[in-house]
Structure formats: C-alpha cells, structure tokens
Amino acid sequence: MRMNQKVVIGVAGMPGAGKAVLRGAAESMGLSVVIMGDEIRDEAKRRGLEPTPENIGRIMLMLREEEGPTAVAKRCIPKIEEARSDIVFVDGVRSLEEVDEFKRRFANVSLVAVHSSSEARFQRLSKRKRSDDPKGWDVFYQRDLRELSVGQGDVIALADYMIVNEGSYDEFKARTDEVLQAVIKKWRK
Amino acid sequence: MRMNQKVVIGVAGMPGAGKAVLRGAAESMGLSVVIMGDEIRDEAKRRGLEPTPENIGRIMLMLREEEGPTAVAKRCIPKIEEARSDIVFVDGVRSLEEVDEFKRRFANVSLVAVHSSSEARFQRLSKRKRSDDPKGWDVFYQRDLRELSVGQGDVIALADYMIVNEGSYDEFKARTDEVLQAVIKKWRK
C-alpha cells in the first residue's frame, strides 16, 4: 500500500493539560482536526451510555480489548485521509501502538505533547465542568491512571515537541503557535 | 513508622534528555544526590557483568522481577535518610511504584521531569560515548522501550515540573536553576 502523503500532527496530553488550546490554535491556522476521543464518545452513544467519566473510561478500555490497541487509531485513519488540509491535527493519541499505526499509513508524523502538573490540571478541570470532568482528586487520579494504563505516558515521553502549560494563558498560547509553526515548517518544504 | 522529614526531589527523564545537567545544578546548590542507576551498576558489578547497555538493561528488569517494582527505590531509601542535606536530589525515578514508595517514607516529594525529543537525545548520546550509550538508532530505541516498560513515561506524564531541553545549553541551564529554586522554595518555608 502506498503511503499517504498527509502530515499527521499527533497530540498527547493528560486530561486538563491544555490540548484544547492547542487544537484551537491549529484550527485558526486552517488545519483540519480529527479528535480521537470523539470515536469513544460516539461509541458510548451507540451503546446507549451517558458520557460520564466512568463510561467514557470504560469504553476507551473496552474498545481496545475488543478490537486491539489500535482500534481508535484505525477508525481515525479514513477521517485523516479525507481531511481537507494536507496537515491534519490529530487530538488525543494515547499509545505508541497508535503512533505506529499512523506511521504505517502516513509518511509524515510528528508528535506534540502538552504538559501541566497534576495540581494545575486538577484545578483547571475542577473549573471546567464538562460532563466527563472529575468530581474530586480520587476520581481525577483514577482517570489519570486509566489514561496511563493504555500507554499515554509513553507517547508523552517520546514526543517530538513538548509544550509546558504552567505559566499564563498568553505564554502558553504563544508557545502553542510557535510549536505548530515549527511542525508546519518542518514538513512544508 | 514516623514519616521522614527530608524533601525528595525525584527526577525522571529518558536517556540523553539532560538529567546530568540538572544533577550538576543540584550539586552546585549544595543538595545531596542519590543516583538510582548506581544501584543497578553496583548490582551488575556484584554479578560480574560488564556495564554494557544490554547488561545494565537486563539487570534493571531482573532486579524488579526478583524483588518487585520498588527494588531499586528500597535500596535508595537509607541513602536518602542518611544524606547530608535536608533536600535530596534523587536521580532516575522510573515508575509510579517507586514514587509511591518514596511517598510512604518521606513527607515531601516533588517530581521533576526533563524532556528532549528522541532526535535530540539520540544526537546527544551518540556524541557522549559512555559505556552504556547506544550504538545506533535501533539499540537506542530498544533502550527507550525498556525504560518505558517499567513505567518511566508515567512518571514523566505526572511530573510536578517539566524542563524542556531543546534549545541552547544556556537556556536549559537557566531553566534547571529556576525549577530547582522553585522546588526548594516550596518546601523550605
């Protein structure tokens, strides 16, 4: 099979690290966005489950058990291929198996990680109040461990670019733009 | 058992990320240093093995298999307790089990991670020529996977402080000093 020439920017980050800001920056730059978590939320809906953190977490693990560690990546590949832009922002990479799956199909893959301390992430999520946000430190930490159990830490450790989200929003925003521009420049010769 | 009041600064980072620079900075600030990898190198010596990357990697896994995931942490605890300074820099934390072991014994534990892209780490290690440095990309990547297999990525993902080593040495050095001072300030009220 001929490699697809699209550029994949795979993004990893623990819950609340700030991936959404990076995604917003990618959208502003005209990049198409594929959100891996949407596959899990869609699957929860298909199975008639509310998108609570417990259900979302359970489906994330279940899908991988039923269809293998690349289940979610495989569902995203056609969406990446059909994306409007040459460079596609893929939000929510969770394991090196997913990275390898993308590298088998796409010639150009870069990995970006967003990092915040657990304390900062917990503060942020406690304010956000999304349906799958944690109700307390214990729920938060269990969710972290679930994310790590599928391999998210490995992707963060081996990322090509690391963005630290610990200072002000403006600093973080400036850094996301800088990194996205560096990735785009790398592949768009 | 009463908690020991020493402050532990646990440091994680993939091979070649720049932990040694951070360690040097800690030493300059008068902190005692405990190097977890020394336990593995000592064990290799006891077993009459050369410190090649393969042997060091094998011993790292073997010790954990024989004595459990906290084998190395347990050997370091008396050294931390006996250290001269109140704040002890512990180099080479490799799993959340090790972090939990330290937290059971010491009231104050902070985690610092150092991150560099695989490309930058490979370049750096190829120049360094230490006995356990990689001979090529494949050996390098296998070593990364071995480090990740015990849980190093989880520690990096959950670090309280992340130092990115991707620019100049001076930038990196300035950032290591800044982070160490922040950790010291946090605990030395």
Antiparallel, parallel or unpaired: β A161-164 and B87-91: unpaired
* CA neighbours closer than 13 Å in the CB half-sphere of residue A186: 16
Strand (E) or helix (H) holding A40: helix A36-46
Please report the ipTM that was assigned to this predicted complex.
0.93
Strand (E) or helix (H) holding B48: none
Beta-carbon separation of B115 and A157 below 8 A: yes
Beta-carbon separation of B160 and A118 below 8 A: yes
A93 part of contact set with chain B, CB < 8 Å: no
Q: How far is CA A64 from CA A75, A79, A151, B92, in A?
A: 12, 19, 12, 31
CB-CB neighbors (< 8 A) of A166 in chain B = 161-162
B176 part of contact set with chain A, CB < 8 Å: no
Buried b (16+ CB within 10 A) or exposed e, B21-36: bbbebbeeeebbbbbb
B102 part of contact set with chain A, CB < 8 Å: no
Listed residue (A74, A73, A78) closest to A94, CA to CA: A73
Which of B99, B116, B147, B148 should one mutate to test binding to chain A, selecting the residue with the greatest count of A CBs within 10 A?
A: B148
Going residue by residue through chain A, which has 189 residues, state the pLDDT in tens, using 9 for 90 and above. 678 889 999 999 999 999 999 999 999 999 999 999 999 999 999 999 998 878 998 999 999 999 999 999 999 999 999 999 999 999 999 999 999 999 999 999 999 999 999 999 999 988 866 555 556 888 899 999 999 999 999 999 999 999 999 999 999 999 999 999 999 999 886
CB-CB neighbors (< 8 A) of A119 in chain B = 160
Cβ–Cβ under 8 Å, residues A162 and B166: yes
B82-118 pLDDT, tens digit each? 999 999 999 999 999 999 999 999 999 999 999 999 9
How far off is chain B from A5, nearest CA to CA, in Å? 22
∠ CA B139-A111-B124, rounded to 5°: 40
CB-CB neighbors (< 8 A) of A152 in chain B = 153, 157
A175 part of contact set with chain B, CB < 8 Å: no
Which residues, at least 6 apart from B66, have a Cβ–Cβ distance to it below 8 Å? none
∠ CA A69-A119-B10, rounded to 5°: 80
B159 part of contact set with chain A, CB < 8 Å: yes
Reading the block at residue B54, the tokens are 């393969």
Residue A46 in 3-state DSSP? helix
CA B84 – CA B76 distance, rounded (Å):
14
Cβ–Cβ under 8 Å, residues A12 and A159: yes
